Amino acid sequence: MTRRDGLPLDVSRQALLEYASEIMLKAWQSFDVARPGEPSIDDDLKELARASISEHPTSARQALAEAARILDSSLAQSRPRFFAFVGSSGLEVGVLADALASCFDVNLAVSGKSADLIEAQALRWVGEFIGYPANGGAFTSGGMVSNLTALAAAREHALPRSRHEGLAGKHVALYCSSEAHYSVKRAAEILGIGADNVRGLPIDKTRRVNSKDVARAVDLDRKSGITPLAVIATTGTTLTGAVDKIAELAEVCEQENVWLHVDGAYGLPAASLNECKELFTGLERADSVTIDAHKWLYLPKACGVVLVKNRTTLAAAFSHFENYMLHDESQMNPVDMTLEYSRPFRALKLWLAFRVHGAEQFRTAIKNNLAQAKLCKELVEASEELELLVEPQLSTVPFRHVPKHLQGNEVALNDHNLKLVKRMQEDGRVYVSSAVIDGRVCLRPCFVNFRTCDDDVKVLIEVTLELGSKSPP
């Protein structure tokens, strides 16, 4: 049969696929070892980025080669010494799953047949892995959309028909740690709750929100005619990795009949470890949880997950009937449980990763990252020039460089550490980001990459001390 090709290639599909495979394999091999520095953006790439749209084709092989150069000179979180932010690792089978899913281009808005079954299974597997009794959920583009989805369900639960009638004349509030992720405020903005109605409550010396403060805030709001919509427990704050006490917050929520949401985008995979179970006590009592599989489950972006204890809460928040998307009550479309319409088959990469590696390999990788965080802490504490700012609860280890001549001078120390991070990023042997904790600028390495090893942690400390000892440029 003749192929009708309105977008012809200048090379065979097989040859193009083989060349793309070569690029991917070379990239994977380069991630196995740290490189001495980050490549610069050369003049050719700058010129390419300035080019106008072409009316005529470029060789497909040439275009792929250019794409490879662009990617290689971009910041790749997959590399073993990328410690900035809570990033992804680009697990190989996840990359392949993305390629396969894009190839078949399944859309999980209406029935995807087998894809629907696999998404449901993958959601169940996530719940089993972390110890949460999930009855429903969805794969999303990340923590922002996951939190928004869960809080939309919480809003409809507290104020039925609010999705239709809006919140005009109704005063509502959310409750969380002052160090909860900004996505909570952003969700409040989008849902009509208002960022000013997010109660960012004080944290204790372990950087957790106090359940008694939450209870007082809920009670005060109720007496003022304000409806509490949800309490958000963060399990792994972005700043320090702190884990709120879920069980204590669950007590408050059950007594007050308030939705409990657990934002576990970063830290929740650690709940799979027996040695971390106590940190996550009460998780099963939450109404909803979120987790980013593209963080500490090592998958390539984007792969967020939202789980709920009662799937009807998602249906109440999102189900609808349109003439172009028919369904019956017994078999709703996936879009009736989610915020997004056109939705790629993100579940495939998590499903494939668990099939290929098994849960135990993931638990081992998470244990290794926790051990690396412990090693980093020990190396910091062993140095006279480094200061640990927060006792790690998970795999984030904030510390700063404190030269003897700057001790006691907080303004100068802040300036010094800001410049130090910049020098380290320009140096490129390791990549870290800066943060501010209690007014103190620090380095905030996060250990969430399965490729990272103990030697990489040691190099991080060595480079910090080496460049920290040099005078600012």
What tens digit of pLDDT does each residue of 71-89 get?
A: 998 888 899 999 998 988 9
Mark whether 265 and 339 lie in a shared domain: yes
Residue 331 in this model has a pLDDT that exceeds 90: no
Strand-pair category, 136-140 with 304-308: antiparallel
pLDDT at 330 over 70: no
Residues 27 and 106 in one domain: no
d(CA 217, CA 215): 5
Q: Is 113 in the same domain as 67?
A: no
Residues 328, 229, 305, 72: is their CA dihedral positive or negative?
positive
What's the mean pLDDT in 364-371? 98
Average pLDDT score, the chain: 94
Q: What are phi and psi of 94, to 5 degrees?
A: -70, -40
Residue with tokens 């932010």: 85
Give 438's contacts (C-beta < 8 A, 6+ positions apart).
389
143 and 279 fall within a common domain: yes
Residue 424 lies inside a defined structural domain of this protein: no
Q: Are residues 100 and 70 in the same domain?
A: no
Q: Which of 377, 393, 401, 417 is nearest to 240 (CA)?
A: 393
| pLDDT band per the 50, 70, 90 thresholds, residue 37 | confident
Same domain, 184 and 318: yes
Q: pLDDT band at residue 472, thresholds of 50, 70 and 90? A: low
In a domain, 47, yes or no: yes
Q: Is residue 251 part of a domain?
A: yes
CATH number at residue 245: 3.40.640.10
Is residue 226 a contact partner of residue 173, using CB atoms and an 8 Å limit?
Answer: yes
The residue among 276, 277, 269, 279 whose CA lies nearest residue 248 is: 279
Whole-number pLDDT of residue 471: 57
Q: For position 334, what pLDDT does the model report?
A: 81
* Distance in angstroms (rounded) separating the CA atoms of residues 3 and 12: 13
Task: Convert the pLDDT of each residue in 90-124 to its tens digit.
Answer: 999 999 999 999 999 998 888 878 999 999 999 99
Q: Does 219 score more than 50 pLDDT?
A: yes
The larger pLDDT score, comparing residue 21 to residue 336, is at 21
The predicted structure's pLDDT at residue 319:
87
> Over 70: is that where the pLDDT of 440 sits?
yes
Domain boundary among 325, 354, 383: 354
Residue 322 has pLDDT above 80, yes or no: no
**What is the average per-residue pLDDT within 285-312?**
97
Please, which residues have CB within 8 angstroms of residue 181's CB and are 6 or more apart in sequence?
143, 147, 234, 237, 238, 263, 265
Domain membership of residue 364 (yes or no) is: no
Residue 328 has what pLDDT?
64
> Which tokens in the block code for residue 236?
């792994």
Global confidence as pTM = 0.94
Res 211: pLDDT: 97
What is the mean pLDDT of the segment spanning 2-23?
88
Same domain, 179 and 38: no
Judge whether residue 4 has pLDDT over 90: no
Distance CA 196, CA 208 (A): 21
Q: How confident is the model over 211-240, as a mean pLDDT?
A: 97
Give 71 or 334, the one with higher predicted confidence: 71
Which residue range is the domain that position 162 belongs to?
Answer: 96-354
At residue 333 the predicted structure's pLDDT band, cuts being 50, 70 and 90, is confident
Same domain? For 179 and 308 the reply is: yes
Q: Is the pLDDT of residue 218 over 50?
A: yes
Q: Which of 354, 373, 396 is a domain's end point?
A: 354
Residue 132 pLDDT exceeds 50: yes
**Does position 473 have pLDDT exceeding 50, yes or no?**
no
Same domain, 163 and 66: no
In a domain, 377, yes or no: no
> How much is the average pLDDT of 290-314?
96
* Plot region of 88 (φ>0 → left; ψ -120 to 50 → alpha; else → beta): beta
Neighbours of 22 (CB within 10 A): 12
Domain stops at, among 332, 354, 376: 354
Same domain for 201 and 322?
Answer: yes
Residue 200 covered by a domain? yes
Say how many C-beta atoms besides its own lie within 10 A of residue 355's C-beta.
12
Residue 36 scores a pLDDT above 70 = yes
Reduced to 3 states, what is the DSSP secondary structure of residue 301? Answer: coil
Task: Please determine, for residue 406, whether its predicted confidence score (pLDDT) is greater than 60.
Answer: yes
Whole-number pLDDT of residue 108: 86
Q: CA 236, 237, 240, 244: dihedral to nearest 10 degrees?
A: -70
Please report whether residue 401 resides in a domain.
no
**pLDDT tops 90 at residue 5:** no
420 domain-assigned:
no
Neighbours of 195 (CB within 10 A): 15
* DSSP-derived secondary structure letter, 127: H
Residues 25 and 123 in one domain: no
- What are the tokens at 102? 């894009």
Count of the separate structural domains present in the chain: 2
Residues 69 and 100 in one domain: no
